[in-house]
């Protein structure tokens, strides 16, 4: 079947740029299809589902004919916020340009979905198509963007001059500005909860926070944030700080602040991060507080590291931890969502060759990867606003944090990719040996609060829920929104919802869990606080000073030096 989605069916030819796009995308799609074996690198020929292809052809023909006959030219662009401004629909030429682009994009994505092959191949092809269609939007080009053109005229060229200045500034700083970074400073208007660093080593600083209540729970709380980001995502503005919220609930709170790795940490391994950071933090908190047991929380990769550490402790017969909270955390890596498109044997082997024995994964590379998971919202939106229209992005603390990137030690990263993302060995009893211990999550005998975000594109909700099938005493809660906004959702704002099963049942599938869950307005934080209080022990007088004795004295005020280090 001959199917040209860019100008067939006897209608007038569509702009040449889209024909070029189609040829480029097909070439790229071929390269995305994995070879049958490493010894046979030639890509596999693409084939399409005939029925899907026929339906796609019919739909394309009908929509294209409708556009070229003048029907719906002004309405179609309004379906996408990139073309929602009046200037796009007021001019028939720009309205048609936007409508044709949307039709082409829809068709190309339909072709990606019609590819015959395994699910991973289709995901890779769709991801590649999404990147190309996002990049080639007419809104990204001054020659096709009437909004940017009008601003250029109205400002007498000042918007373009400012846009070029913005571009040069971003090139100098090494990343694209998503917010006005001049308005934020860590320790001044971010990460301002009062506390002190009471311990540090080469990998992390341990921060103890000043109590806000006269009494605290006898079991302290240790938070382990992801080491691929700065810890202050848990302590942004005062009103959105999970750390401050925990302290206000009477939790004696400690937080790990990771060092931003430089060449001195280029040889650091997963085992070192587990033993010398997470387990060391647990031991240090116990020594400072003199508590027999502590409560713990891990966020994202921090949750994966925390559960690895708890499995090591379980294998050693150590019951230092009374409970764990996992926020948007992967334990079972069988469903890693969109990130799966990057992971296969050849990619992992390449990373092992590059940095498995030493080196650094640059933070800017990680940041760019996560941004391109949502290219329209986190890349091209800022290209248009910052460079074509010469605007200064509005202040947004989460986006400042998002650009405050961190490096990762190569051996740590390569181990993480192979053993967890590729081979999914953490959930296999005895599948991993870490710090000399054979791991079995089934031996981690403590209550666990598992939270997942419904629209999370980094830890899909099904993957977050999968942890409930690998652990024992679990309370699972689902929140609305995504990976960050779902977690950082203070109750005072009364935003979003969360879902709980009152019967506490944990069926095999997330869909089955949702079928029996009830929706509750607002944040999940209060539910978590009530659950955590049940595992806090008795209440005792709040400490009057940081640390303990001469062994653990205040080194410096929170947020400490480590969080201020920038990725080179």
Give φ, ψ of 9 to 5 degrees: 65, 20
Name which of 444, 416, 440, 445 is nearest 428 in CA terms.
440
- Please say whether the beta carbons of 518 and 491 come within 8 A: no
Residue 454 token pair: 């419904």
Helix or strand (DSSP H, E) at 452: strand 448-453
Residue 264 token pair: 């001195």
Residue 292 token pair: 């027999």
- Please say whether the beta carbons of 299 and 223 come within 8 A: yes
Question: Distance (Å, rounded) from C-alpha 371 to C-alpha 58?
Answer: 35
- Please say whether the beta carbons of 354 and 118 come within 8 A: no
Residue 29 token pair: 């799609």
What 3-state class would DSSP assign to 279?
helix
Torsion sign, CA atoms 269, 274, 275, 280:
positive
Strands 321-327 and 360-361: unpaired
Give φ, ψ of 107 to 5 degrees: -70, -45
- Please say whether the beta carbons of 206 and 560 come within 8 A: no
Name which of 472, 494, 392, 433 is nearest 180 in CA terms.
392
- What Rg value do the Cα atoms of the chain yield, rounded? 26
The full 3-state SS of 196-256, as one line of letters, equals EEEEECCCEEEEEECCCCCEEECCCEEEECCCCCCHHHHCCCHHHCHHHHHHHCCCCEEEE
Catalytic residue among 141, 227, 300, 435: 300
Angle between helices 146-154 and 158-173 (to 10 degrees): 110
Q: Where are the beta strands (DSSP E) in 252-305?
A: 253-258, 294-299
Q: Which residues make beta-bridge pairs with 221?
A: 253, 295
First-to-last alpha carbon distance for the chain, in angstroms, is 53
Q: Is 300 a catalytic residue?
A: yes
Residue 212 exposure: Cα atoms within 13 Å on the Cβ side: 14
Question: Distance (Å, rounded) from C-alpha 148 to C-alpha 133?
Answer: 20
- Please say whether the beta carbons of 524 and 489 come within 8 A: yes
* CB-neighbour burial class of residue 168 (10 A; exposed 0-12, middle 13-18, buried 19+): exposed
Catalytic residues: 300
């Amino acid at each position: 079947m001959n199917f040209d989605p860019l100008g067939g069916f006897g209608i007038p030819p569509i702009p040449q740029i889209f024909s070029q796009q189609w040829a480029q995308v097909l070439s790229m799609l071929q390269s995305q299809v994995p070879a049958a074996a490493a010894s046979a690198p030639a890509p596999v020929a693409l084939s399409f589902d005939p029925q899907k292809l026929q339906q796609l052809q019919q739909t394309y023909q009908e929509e294209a004919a409708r556009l070229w006959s003048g029907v719906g030219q002004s309405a179609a662009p309004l379906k996408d916020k990139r073309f929602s401004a009046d200037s796009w629909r007021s001019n028939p030429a720009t309205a048609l340009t936007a409508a044709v682009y949307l039709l082409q994009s829809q068709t190309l994505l339909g072709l990606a979905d019609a590819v015959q092959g395994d699910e991973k191949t289709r995901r890779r092809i769709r991801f590649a198509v999404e990147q190309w269609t996002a990049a080639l939007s007419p809104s990204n080009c001054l020659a096709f963007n009437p909004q940017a053109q009008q601003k250029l005229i109205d400002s007498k060229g000042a918007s373009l001059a400012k846009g070029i200045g913005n571009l040069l500034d971003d090139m100098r700083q090494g990343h694209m500005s998503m917010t006005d970074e001049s308005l934020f400073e860590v320790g001044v208007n971010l990460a301002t909860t009062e506390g002190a660093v009471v311990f540090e080593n080469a990998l992390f600083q341990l921060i103890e926070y000043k109590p806000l209540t006269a009494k605290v729970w006898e079991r302290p709380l240790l938070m382990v944030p992801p080491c691929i980001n700065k810890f202050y995502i848990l302590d942004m503005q005062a009103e959105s700080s999970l750390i401050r919220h925990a302290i206000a609930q009477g939790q004696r709170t400690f937080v790990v602040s990771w060092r931003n790795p430089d060449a001195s940490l280029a040889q650091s391994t997963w085992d070192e991060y587990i033993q010398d950071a997470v387990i060391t933090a647990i031991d240090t908190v116990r020594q400072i507080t003199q508590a027999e047991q502590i409560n713990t929380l891990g966020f994202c990769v921090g949750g994966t590291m925390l559960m690895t550490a708890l499995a090591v402790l379980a294998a050693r017969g150590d019951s230092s931890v009374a409970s764990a909270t996992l926020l948007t955390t992967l334990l079972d890596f069988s469903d890693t969502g969109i990130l799966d498109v990057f992971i296969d044997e050849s990619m992992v082997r390449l990373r092992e060759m590059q940095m498995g024995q030493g080196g650094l994964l640059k933070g800017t590379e990680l940041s760019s990867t996560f941004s391109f998971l949502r290219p329209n919202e986190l890349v091209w939106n800022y290209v248009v606003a910052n460079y074509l229209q010469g605007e200064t992005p509005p202040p947004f603390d989460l986006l400042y944090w998002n650009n405050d990137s961190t490096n990762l030690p190569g051996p740590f990263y390569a181990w993480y990719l192979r053993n967890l993302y590729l081979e999914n060995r953490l959930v296999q009893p005895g599948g991993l040996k870490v710090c000399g211990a054979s791991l079995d999550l089934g031996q981690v005998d403590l209550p666990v609060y598992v939270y997942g975000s419904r629209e999370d594109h980094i830890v899909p909700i099904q993957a977050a829920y999968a942890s409930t099938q690998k652990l024992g005493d679990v309370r699972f809660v689902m929140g609305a929104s995504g990976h960050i906004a779902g977690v950082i959702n203070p109750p005072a704002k009364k935003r979003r919802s969360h879902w709980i099963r009152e019967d506490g049942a944990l069926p095999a599938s997330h869909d089955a869990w949702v079928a029996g869950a009830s929706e509750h307005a607002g944040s999940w934080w209060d539910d978590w606080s009530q659950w955590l209080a049940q595992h806090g022990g008795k209440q005792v007088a709040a400490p009057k000073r940081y640390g303990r004795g001469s062994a653990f004295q205040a080194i410096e005020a929170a947020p400490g030096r480590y969080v201020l280090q920038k990725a080179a």
